[in-house]
Structure 1
């Protein structure tokens, strides 16, 4: 399992990113899951867990309304597979990484592919 956390994104863009990953990998969120807005302009973090598999079907590029900050956290293989799926659907800029013995964390900025 790997955790995907999204910030600095509209509700629609967060739903789009989770939708791409949901069609590719098993997740702890239902098909109808849509992130909920928080009142008062607070910073929102949406998260879901995914179980990357060796066999996945890439999607076509998907447009986003703006940019999305994504943090992937989990085992090296799981994070790498999530990253590859995101690379197919979006333009991905790596903003930082942290590595441990058995886990890694990768910070990304997702935008629409041009």
Structure 2
């Protein structure tokens, strides 16, 4: 794959406003569907206790592996997706299968778009 094709299928996912456990749940869900720059056993870590932590991972959505299943979160997670239009749409569809999501904002450019989402548990109390 050349670099133009790779950048067209790459999505940078940035998570904030959440615990490391919820960040891990989101990243593991996405890693089951797409290749990423994270090692399979890598878990998000706090860099400094008591400070806001932002986690970032890049996913390649060119060849999805498996369909996402609903996932439980302890609290809402703020997610930002940045990449090509098609790639971001693919990532957003996968997140919608796993989580209840609310689009909070979107900025569009010539080649890329940036979407801000609020992810909530895709598994509800009455489903347990």
Instruction: Decide: shared fold, TM above 0.5.
Output: yes
Q: Given the alignment, which residue of 8, 14, 23 partners 1:14?
A: 23
Task: Tell me the distance in 2 between the aligned counterparts of 1:89 and 1:7.
Answer: 18
Q: Hey, what's the Cα distance between the residues in 2 that align with 1:72 and 1:55?
A: 17
List structure 1 segments (4+ residues) > 4 angstroms apart after TM superposition. none
CA distance in 2, matches of 1:76, 1:99: 9
Per-residue CA shift, 1:16-72, capped at 9, x if unaligned? 000010010010111111111132411111000000025442122010011100000
Match runs of 1:1-114 below 5 Å:
1-53=10-62, 55-113=64-122, 114=124
Q: Alpha carbon RMSD of aligned pairs, Å?
A: 1.1
Q: Structure 1: give runs of 5+ residues left out of the alignment.
A: none
Unaligned runs of 5+ in 2: 1-9
TM-score (norm 2): 0.85
TM-score (norm 1): 0.95
In our comparison, the structure showing a higher alpha carbon Rg is 2
